[in-house]
Amino acid sequence: MNDTFTYRLMDEGDASLVSDLVTKVFMKSIAPLYSPEGVREFLRYTHPDAMIERTRTGHLTLLAELEGKVIGTIHIRSCSHVSLLFVDEGEQRKGIAGELLRRAVRICKVKTPDLSALTVNSSPNSVKIYQRLGFQDTGPEQVKNGIRFTPMVLDLRVGRLP
């Protein structure tokens, strides 16, 4: 079977679908690593109304779809910080996260031609994925509002994305 993924910007009507996808993956893979405070903080951040508001104020949200179903998303603040990058568990390891990142960077470079880096606060179990995408750690693991993360950066001046 040849999977054909499509990519597009999120419409406000997609916010619940995006939130559902992110919440499902988060609760299974990441929430067990967080404190109850961190889980609450994350779920507040990914609530559909919060996603719509951030999109209205300049966040970029791209979706990956398969047969009309949202199976991946990237959410970028001010074309400088990846705040969400999630792919449905059944669709992981197919290059979707990398393609979402590449497409988001292209859009951001049009909006911000002098863009030289993207940052991310990676969950503990995503550090290796971000490293494969070209990000480098910029500090040790930290906890803020119950959210565990490793700060990382992708230098866009050094070459192509994987």
Domain map (residue ranges) of the chain: 5-114
Q: Along the 162 residues of the chain, how does pLDDT read in single tens digits?
A: 446 899 999 999 999 999 999 999 999 999 999 999 999 999 999 999 999 999 999 899 999 999 989 999 999 999 999 999 999 999 999 999 999 999 999 999 999 999 999 999 999 999 999 999 999 999 999 999 999 999 999 999 876 665
Domain 5-114 has CATH 3.40.50.300: no
CA dihedral 96, 34, 37, 45 (to 10 degrees): 0
Q: Exposed e or buried b for every residue in 128-150, given b needs 16+ CB within 10 A?
A: ebbeebbbeeeeeeeeeeebbbb
Q: How far is CA 28 from the centre of its chain?
A: 16
- Cα separation, 72 vs 64, whole angstroms: 5
